[in-house]
Copies of this chain bind each other. A is one copy, B any other.
Amino acid sequence: MLLNERVLQPRIGTTTESREPDVVDEDHPVIIAGFGQFGSVIGRFLRGHGVDSTVLEFDSDHVDLLRKLGLKVFYGDAARHDLLEAAGAGRAKLLILAVGEHARTVEIVRAVQKHFPQLKILARAAGRWEAYELRDAGVEAVYRDTLDTALRLAVDALTTLGHRSYQMHRAAKTFRRHDEASVRTLGAMRHDAKQYFTAARQQIQDLEELLSAGAQDAERQDSGWDTESLIQEFGRTATGRSP
């Protein structure tokens, strides 16, 4: 968000349970629960593409501040069946769970699955463990908070060191696909520590080899087409050094 997040930490401040939920007077294809940094990026992106969302936020101070920024937000608990109903959960297509607290996310998932089973859920998770639990609860589309930003930093680091930007972006996709798959396989064995650790080590190693193989492939494929390496090659031959 565009605010001083220190002032805006959820549930800090004068938030009280006694404030009545707002009356939702909207009916949109998307409902977003949680409108901190994560949710507001999504809401703004959708809005820029002409898709309106009904936004529910549980922190009353945050609601007030968002309104100062010109954003329309309703105060209320998205785990409440009546509020979901009022927000149009019976007619919406997507529910985006951008709440920062895992326990609340799980609560909302349960309420939605009970009362609005047709509603597709896209949910954020702090990390791998929360992702396991959300998948167990039946949510297919889980987005781990820092995964994509960490990958972008890694891509930039390697590009700075001279790796090709295009190859790095492709490798980041491979990493994410493999890592997402490991959430599914490792999640199932996480209650057996020994089995889990063995499998986790294997996954780490497999992914390293996969990336490494991809990098070598890309190098081979490029070598015939890449002007820079042709010039190098040419230069090398011209100076009499063997290739």
Contacts and interface: CB of A to CB of B under 8 A. Distances in A.
Counting chain A residues whose Cβ lies within 8 A of the other chain, the interface size class is: 35 or more
A93 B69 CA distance: 41
A124 B186 CA distance: 27
Interface stretch (A16-24, A47-55, A80-88): A47-55
A167 to B, nearest CB: 9
A2 B153 contact: no
A49 B1 contact: no
B70 A122 contact: no
A188 B170 CA distance: 36
Interface stretch (A3-11, A107-115, A226-234, A235-243): A3-11
B156 A122 contact: yes
Sorted from nearest, which 4 A-B pairs have the closest CB atoms? A48-B211, A148-B148, A45-B154, A2-B200
Most central of A41, A211, A215 by chain B CB within 10 Å: A41
B44 A207 contact: yes
A119 interface: no
B157 A96 contact: yes
Nearest to A32: B157
B44 A212 contact: no
